[in-house]
Amino acid sequence: MSNIQVLLVAGTHGNEINAPWVFDQWAQNQDLIDRYGLKVIPVIGNPLALQKGQRYVDRDLNRSFYPDLLNSLNSSDLEIARAKNLVDLYGPNSNNASQIAIDFHSTTACMGSSLVIYGRRPADLAIVSLIQNRIGLPVYLHEGDPLQKGFLVEAWPCGFVVEIGPVPQMSLNSRIVRQTLLTLKICLEEISKSIDLRSSFPQKLIVHRHLKSIDFPRDSSGKPIAYIHRDLEARDWHPIENGSPIFEDLKGDVIRLSDNSFKDKVFPVFINEAAYAEKNIAMCFTQREVWNFDNSWKDAFYELINS
């Protein structure tokens, strides 16, 4: 039998309440989700922020997992302490080690359900291939963004984020709850299959590879002077190209996409995510790529699962 243990995290952001609610229902009714014999640890990422109904208390927990911060001795930020705590309790070198971390989020952007991976770790590419092959979710590959780092799942050998939207912060929503539950069940089932090597890996993985993020146009005081153009609002995953309208203002002026580094159509995601305005992100641009599935991903994943 595999010793694999899966860390399931909800409420890493305290105002994303749907996944924590599902976890709470699950705690009260163990039959709600089949574990397929897997050892799983469901945990609330940021309990105090959840209690307060805020994204975070001192800083974004999901940007607090990079080594410099985890090794710092003199921070008083609640989230840095919590990041250390989670790694100490469930990290790969802890007494209660988990090898896979799945972090359940929601977004105000109209993205539907998607998976997010950070960089190109082979085991991550394997597991999201399994889930995409099963229920078709898009995979957002976040890489090459030095301004955004320290994501929770990076502190585990394998892991990814599940993003489900659109839903306002602090709203329990029928569709979001059901899709969170569905995705969670599928994740556990796919991991369990890999224990006895029954996984169905696809031949291709479709990724939306991060190219860059852009900010709202702002005045000298830092206030936005324009908003997402009406034709772009809610059009996550739909390709646009140079010349496409992206912002508009109250005078009727339109700002169009104009980026010489974009040779082809780009696919915006996280359009107008409410929590990203403070990070100076109005949307992220991705490039859609179809990759051949690489057997080294499978090998890495099987090795992780069955070692």
Q: How far is the CB of 286 from its own copies (least distance, A)?
A: 21
Among 81, 135, 172, 182, binds its own copies (CB under 8 A): 172
Backbone angles phi, psi at 277, to 5 degrees: -60, -40
Residues 141-170 that bind its own copies (CB under 8 A): 166-170
Q: How is residue 158 written in tokens?
A: 């394998």
Q: How is residue 54 written in tokens?
A: 């805020």
Question: Is 112 a binder of its own copies (CB under 8 A)?
Answer: no
Q: How far is the CB of 26 from its own copies (least distance, A)?
A: 9
Q: How is residue 98 written in tokens?
A: 């988990």
In the sheet with 267-269, reading across from the earlier edge strand, the strands are 39-44, 5-10, 100-106, 158-164, 113-118, 139-142, 204-214, 283-292, 267-269
Helix (H) or strand (E) segment spanning residue 71: none
- Span near its own copies by CB under 8 A; candidates 25-33, 60-68, 195-203, 258-266: 25-33
- Span near its own copies by CB under 8 A; candidates 123-131, 145-153, 197-205, 269-277: 269-277
Instruction: Give 216: exposed, middle or buried? Use CB within 10 Å, 0-12, 13-18, 19+.
Output: buried
Tell me whether residue 81 or residue 170 sits nearer to its own copies (CB atom).
170
Tell me whether residue 25 or residue 200 sits nearer to its own copies (CB atom).
25
- Pair 158, 72: CB distance under 8 Å: no
Q: How far apart are CA 23 and CA 88, in angstroms?
A: 22
Residues 46-65 that bind its own copies (CB under 8 A): 53-54
Residue window 238-257: x/- pattern of binding to its own copies, with contact defined by CB under 8 A: ----------xxxx------
Distances (CA, A) of 28 to 5, 25, 43, 51, 188: 21, 5, 14, 19, 19
Tell me whether residue 197 or residue 277 sits nearer to its own copies (CB atom).
277
List the helix and strand counts (H, then E) for the chain: 7, 12
Q: How far is the CB of 241 from its own copies (least distance, A)?
A: 20
Among 29, 30, 93, 307, binds its own copies (CB under 8 A): 29
- Pair 38, 192: CB distance under 8 Å: yes
Tell me whether residue 149 or residue 175 sits nearer to its own copies (CB atom).
175
Tell me whether residue 176 or residue 207 sits nearer to its own copies (CB atom).
176
Residues 201-240 that bind its own copies (CB under 8 A): 216, 223-225, 227-230, 233
Which residues contact its own copies (rule: CB under 8 A)? Answer: 21-22, 24-25, 29, 32, 53-54, 108, 166-175, 177, 181, 216, 223-225, 227-230, 233, 248-251, 272, 274-275, 277-278
